[in-house]
Amino acid sequence: MQNPDMRRAVANLNILGVVWLVAACYMQGPLPSAIPAPETRIVAEVTDTGVLAMSNAIGSGATEVEGIVAGADATSWDLRMLRVEFRNGQSVAWNREVVRFPRSALSQATERRFSNKRSWIMAGLLTSTAFLAAHFLGFIGGGDNTDKPPPPPN
Protein backbone atom coordinates (compact mmCIF):
# COMPACT_ATOMS: atom_id res chain seq x y z
CA MET A 1 0.00 0.00 0.00
CA GLN A 2 1.31 3.46 -0.87
CA ASN A 3 1.88 6.26 1.61
CA PRO A 4 -1.05 8.77 1.55
CA ASP A 5 1.43 11.67 1.61
CA MET A 6 3.06 10.31 -1.55
CA ARG A 7 -0.31 10.07 -3.27
CA ARG A 8 -1.10 13.66 -2.31
CA ALA A 9 2.29 14.81 -3.61
CA VAL A 10 1.69 13.12 -6.97
CA ALA A 11 -1.83 14.59 -7.17
CA ASN A 12 -0.48 18.08 -6.42
CA LEU A 13 2.24 17.58 -9.03
CA ASN A 14 -0.40 16.65 -11.61
CA ILE A 15 -2.54 19.69 -10.74
CA LEU A 16 0.49 21.95 -11.05
CA GLY A 17 1.31 20.34 -14.39
CA VAL A 18 -2.20 20.98 -15.71
CA VAL A 19 -1.96 24.64 -14.70
CA TRP A 20 1.39 24.93 -16.53
CA LEU A 21 -0.06 23.18 -19.55
CA VAL A 22 -3.06 25.52 -19.80
CA ALA A 23 -0.87 28.59 -19.32
CA ALA A 24 1.51 27.45 -22.04
CA CYS A 25 -1.25 26.87 -24.58
CA TYR A 26 -1.66 30.58 -25.31
CA MET A 27 0.57 33.41 -26.48
CA GLN A 28 -0.27 37.09 -26.14
CA GLY A 29 0.92 39.69 -28.62
CA PRO A 30 -0.04 43.04 -30.07
CA LEU A 31 -3.10 43.36 -32.24
CA PRO A 32 -2.23 43.33 -35.94
CA SER A 33 -4.45 46.39 -36.55
CA ALA A 34 -6.19 49.13 -34.57
CA ILE A 35 -9.57 47.47 -35.13
CA PRO A 36 -9.51 43.73 -34.37
CA ALA A 37 -11.03 41.28 -36.82
CA PRO A 38 -14.11 39.28 -35.79
CA GLU A 39 -13.33 36.04 -33.89
CA THR A 40 -10.07 37.49 -32.51
CA ARG A 41 -9.55 36.60 -28.86
CA ILE A 42 -8.38 39.69 -26.98
CA VAL A 43 -7.35 40.76 -23.49
CA ALA A 44 -7.68 44.47 -22.67
CA GLU A 45 -7.34 46.73 -19.67
CA VAL A 46 -10.42 48.68 -18.61
CA THR A 47 -9.72 52.43 -18.44
CA ASP A 48 -10.89 54.60 -15.54
CA THR A 49 -13.65 56.03 -17.69
CA GLY A 50 -14.48 52.49 -18.80
CA VAL A 51 -14.87 51.37 -15.19
CA LEU A 52 -17.49 54.09 -14.69
CA ALA A 53 -19.21 53.62 -18.04
CA MET A 54 -19.31 49.81 -17.91
CA SER A 55 -19.98 49.16 -14.21
CA ASN A 56 -23.63 48.21 -14.82
CA ALA A 57 -22.67 45.76 -17.57
CA ILE A 58 -19.54 44.07 -16.17
CA GLY A 59 -19.47 45.10 -12.50
CA SER A 60 -17.66 47.84 -10.64
CA GLY A 61 -13.91 47.73 -10.15
CA ALA A 62 -13.09 45.80 -13.33
CA THR A 63 -9.46 46.08 -14.40
CA GLU A 64 -9.20 43.64 -17.32
CA VAL A 65 -11.52 41.87 -19.72
CA GLU A 66 -11.03 38.91 -22.02
CA GLY A 67 -13.34 38.10 -24.86
CA ILE A 68 -13.82 37.18 -28.49
CA VAL A 69 -14.54 40.03 -30.89
CA ALA A 70 -18.06 39.74 -32.29
CA GLY A 71 -17.78 43.05 -34.13
CA ALA A 72 -15.66 46.18 -33.96
CA ASP A 73 -15.41 49.62 -35.48
CA ALA A 74 -13.60 52.84 -34.59
CA THR A 75 -16.14 53.80 -31.91
CA SER A 76 -17.02 50.52 -30.17
CA TRP A 77 -16.10 46.86 -29.78
CA ASP A 78 -18.62 44.06 -29.22
CA LEU A 79 -17.03 41.25 -27.21
CA ARG A 80 -18.33 37.79 -26.39
CA MET A 81 -17.07 37.89 -22.83
CA LEU A 82 -14.92 35.10 -21.39
CA ARG A 83 -13.53 36.65 -18.22
CA VAL A 84 -13.47 39.85 -16.13
CA GLU A 85 -10.66 40.57 -13.67
CA PHE A 86 -11.38 42.90 -10.73
CA ARG A 87 -9.27 45.15 -8.49
CA ASN A 88 -9.64 42.79 -5.55
CA GLY A 89 -7.92 40.04 -7.56
CA GLN A 90 -11.12 38.13 -8.23
CA SER A 91 -11.64 36.76 -11.73
CA VAL A 92 -15.17 36.00 -12.95
CA ALA A 93 -15.79 33.67 -15.89
CA TRP A 94 -18.49 34.61 -18.39
CA ASN A 95 -20.45 32.45 -20.84
CA ARG A 96 -19.76 34.41 -24.02
CA GLU A 97 -22.43 37.02 -23.41
CA VAL A 98 -22.04 39.91 -25.85
CA VAL A 99 -21.14 43.27 -24.29
CA ARG A 100 -20.60 46.49 -26.28
CA PHE A 101 -17.66 48.58 -25.07
CA PRO A 102 -17.10 52.18 -26.17
CA ARG A 103 -13.58 52.27 -27.62
CA SER A 104 -12.52 54.70 -24.88
CA ALA A 105 -13.38 52.07 -22.23
CA LEU A 106 -10.54 49.72 -23.24
CA SER A 107 -6.79 50.15 -23.58
CA GLN A 108 -3.66 48.03 -24.00
CA ALA A 109 -5.57 45.44 -26.05
CA THR A 110 -3.57 42.36 -27.00
CA GLU A 111 -4.42 39.31 -29.07
CA ARG A 112 -4.42 35.95 -27.33
CA ARG A 113 -3.69 33.02 -29.65
CA PHE A 114 -3.52 29.27 -29.16
CA SER A 115 0.04 27.99 -29.66
CA ASN A 116 0.37 24.41 -30.92
CA LYS A 117 4.14 24.37 -30.48
CA ARG A 118 4.09 25.55 -26.87
CA SER A 119 1.21 23.20 -26.09
CA TRP A 120 3.09 20.14 -27.39
CA ILE A 121 6.24 21.14 -25.50
CA MET A 122 4.31 21.52 -22.25
CA ALA A 123 2.42 18.27 -22.83
CA GLY A 124 5.74 16.46 -23.27
CA LEU A 125 7.19 18.06 -20.14
CA LEU A 126 4.07 17.24 -18.14
CA THR A 127 4.04 13.62 -19.31
CA SER A 128 7.75 13.19 -18.60
CA THR A 129 7.44 14.73 -15.15
CA ALA A 130 4.42 12.62 -14.25
CA PHE A 131 6.14 9.45 -15.48
CA LEU A 132 9.34 10.18 -13.55
CA ALA A 133 7.43 11.09 -10.38
CA ALA A 134 5.38 7.91 -10.59
CA HIS A 135 8.54 5.85 -11.17
CA PHE A 136 10.46 7.39 -8.27
CA LEU A 137 7.50 7.13 -5.92
CA GLY A 138 7.06 3.45 -6.78
CA PHE A 139 3.75 3.63 -8.63
CA ILE A 140 5.28 2.05 -11.74
CA GLY A 141 8.29 -0.23 -11.96
CA GLY A 142 10.64 -0.89 -9.06
CA GLY A 143 9.06 -0.71 -5.64
CA ASP A 144 8.79 -3.44 -3.05
CA ASN A 145 7.93 -6.92 -4.17
CA THR A 146 5.66 -8.11 -1.39
CA ASP A 147 4.41 -11.26 -3.15
CA LYS A 148 4.52 -14.39 -1.01
CA PRO A 149 6.92 -17.03 -2.23
CA PRO A 150 5.24 -20.24 -3.39
CA PRO A 151 4.84 -22.91 -0.73
CA PRO A 152 7.56 -25.59 -0.65
CA PRO A 153 6.74 -28.86 -2.38
CA ASN A 154 5.70 -31.76 -0.15
Reported as a single tens digit per residue, the pLDDT across 26-44 is: 677 788 888 999 999 999 9
Residues of the chain with pLDDT > 70, as a percent, come to 78
Is the predicted pLDDT of residue 13 greater than 70, yes or no? no
3-class SS at 96?
A: coil
Instruction: Give the list of residues 6+ apart from residue 135 with CB closer than 8 angstroms, or none.
Output: 141, 142
pLDDT one-digit tens code per residue, 102-134: 999 999 999 877 767 766 777 777 788 888 877
pLDDT at 1: 45
Mean per-residue pLDDT for 35-57?
Answer: 94
The domain ranges of the chain are 1-25+115-139, 28-113
Tell me which DSSP letter residue 74 carries: S
pTM greater than 0.85 = no
CATH 2.30.30 fits 28-113, yes or no: yes
To the nearest 10°, report the CA torsion of 100, 43, 12, 89: -70
Beta bridge partners of 64: 45, 85
Cβ-proximal residues to 26 (8 Å cutoff; 6+ apart), any chain: 112, 113, 114, 115
Helix (H, G, I), strand (E, B) or coil at 103: helix
pLDDT value at 62 more than 90: yes
